[in-house]
Amino acid sequence: MMQKFYSADKVFTGTEWLSNKAIIVTDGKITDIVSVGDIDDDSIPNYPIIAPAFMDIQIYGAYGKLLAVYPDADALHKLYEYCSKGGATHFQPTVATNSYEIFYRCIDAVKAYWKEGGKGCLGLHVEGPWIHPKKKGAHIESFIHSPTIEEAKELLEYGKGVITMITLAPEVCSKEVIALIKSYGVIISAGHSNATYEAATDAFDNGISAATHLYNAMSPLQHREPGIVGAIFDHDKVMSSLVPDGFHVDFSAIRIAKKIMKERLFVITDAVTETTDGPSPHHLMGDRYEMYGILSGSALTMAKSVYNLVNHVGIDLGEALRMVSLYPAQVMRKADHMGMIEKGYDANLVMLDNSYEVMDVID
């Protein structure tokens, strides 16, 4: 039995702040939270802040290896390194609209990564190609189409146990296809969609539990046509990701969405990496990436997201921390053992300084 101790001036459990506490970890599980004075060991590291480790469920590549261009285990090792440096011990690698050959190779890459003992990979997020061409964003239009039952089943069978999320436009997919995806236990997120308010609301009422990067690549909220943004705002259950870099979404628009959606809004980085290979070249332009002049991804880390939410949006630190940990865990159906510092939960911890910079992670 391996027992470790971690102490902090402030511990955020996911529900409350505790002062001068030590977390006891036994064989990878949190077994107790006690007062620092109860631990008779001066060698225990003490941090300003300990919080639940972050979870990034939409990220495409890191350190020059975009997964869609380099669909191999090494790309995922680089993703894990990038994510953990930003405080995220778990990540869901994402491949955007592409050929089925690339999707299959990305599925194989996740399998290989897991076989090598790779850490933190939740599964594969397939974003497209079943999206609306008018809301393609930086996706490759030639691959975009509506799926048949047969091709959807072929992809789901090949990716069984690996594909964990699919982003699609509900208006271009039949209810039979959506029901098929659900039957495989895959989480469906509505995105790159031109759906009407009515169509989006119907989709949310019938099994689509999430939406992808709020405001971006979706029909906007207008006073006579509320669109999918209006449907997301108005629904009482659907959760949506958002990219808080100030480029994908103005900080004031994040503040408005947060007031309306409250705990239904969570963070993704949507981060890509510099690449000149393949059909989707991403070029770093300051603090964001562009492809042929179109915004194509962020340069965020989850820790930078927390900083932005607190300092630019005005969100309380505890709530900002939930948006990068507990809420993504809820979307991924893992909140019964991840996203909180609580007895019996996995010991996934992030250690922060008072400027929210990452000092260490425990995974």
Which residues are known to be catalytic? 270
- How far is it, in rounded angstroms, from Cα 344 to Cα 337? 7
What is the dihedral sign for C-alpha 127, 160, 264, 271?
negative
- How far is it, in rounded angstroms, from Cα 277 to Cα 286? 20
Phi and psi of 245, rounded to 5°? -105, -5
List, in sequence order, every residue forming a beta bridge with 166; answer none if it has no partner. 126, 188
List, in sequence order, every residue forming a beta bridge with 179; answer none if it has no partner. none
3-state SS string for the chain: CCEEEEEEEEEECCCCEEEEEEEEEECCEEEEEEEHHHCCCCCCCEEEEEEECEEEEEECEECCEECCCCCCHHHHHHHHHHHHHCCEEEEEEEEECCCHHHHHHHHHHHHHHHHCCCCCECCEEEECCCCCHHHCCCCCHHHCCCCCHHHHHHHHHHCCCCEEEEEECHHHCCHHHHHHHHHCCCEEEECCECCCHHHHHHHHHCCCCEECCCCCCECCCCCCCCHHHHHHHHCCCCEEEECCCCCCCCHHHHHHHHHHHHHHEEECCCECCCECCCCCCEEEECCEEEECCEEEEECCCHHHHHHHHHHHHCCCHHHHHHHCCHHHHHHCCCCCCCCCCCCCCECCEEEECCCCCEEEEEC
